Structure 1
Amino acid sequence: MRLVLLAALLAAALPAFAAGSNRPARLGLCAACHGETGIAQMPGAPNLAGQRLDYLRNALAQYRDGRRDVAVMRAAIGPVSAAELDALARWYSAQAPAVQAQP
């Protein structure tokens, strides 16, 4: 049931996030949890902004192919093509990482 709810949420978010010409078409799939600019919107979801491009490409491919067994990620990334994965990795690696607040 959780996966069905998550899939519906992601499908609803997709058009809003894909509107910009320089944004990846599938950004809404990731932005629901990781934020449009890679700053996580959901507790427990890692920030993706500023991560190394090769790391993101590899991690996304591993989620899609099942080598990283996380059901939510597999459901979100499963239908994404290699070109779309590359566009997502490029987008998030180009974003500025979150600045941590000083105590």
Structure 2
Amino acid sequence: MRTVLIAALGLTCAMPALAVDAPSKPVRLGLCAACHGETGMAQIPGAPNLAGQRLDYLRKALRDYRDGSRDVPLMRAAIGPLSDADLDQLARWYSAQSLSPQALTQP
């Protein structure tokens, strides 16, 4: 019983620390969510799932779209006016989302 209480106390103390690491929902999420979904699960055919992608990959991809290194006019128009801080917040949000089990089975 003592071991169970100690384990429960440890988990209770660790929970706030885990919550602090979770990114807050980006203010600029709306436009991205229209195609990629709020939780990173694509809402339209052809849009990739962003949930669980590597943070460094998403950061670079977003900057490349904005700066024109990746020539996708829709993406450039969508994120063109966003600052590095906005892009970082979006990358953090999507990289922290979990990929749904159904996405793993879809082609």
TM-score by length of 1: 0.76
C-alpha RMSD of the superposition: 1.6
**Which amino acid is 2:64 matched to?**
Q
Aligned residues: 82
Q: Does 1:94 align with 2:96?
A: yes
**Which amino acid is 1:69 matched to?**
D
**Which amino acid is 1:24 matched to?**
P
Q: Does 1:81 align with 2:83?
A: yes
* Unpaired segments ≥5 residues, structure 1: 1-20
Distance 1:90 1:22 in 2: 9
The structural deviation recorded for 1:54 is: 0.1
TM-score by length of 2: 0.73
* Unpaired segments ≥5 residues, structure 2: 1-22
Runs of 4 or more consecutive aligned structure 1 residues displaced over 2 Å after TM superposition: none
Greater fraction helix? 2
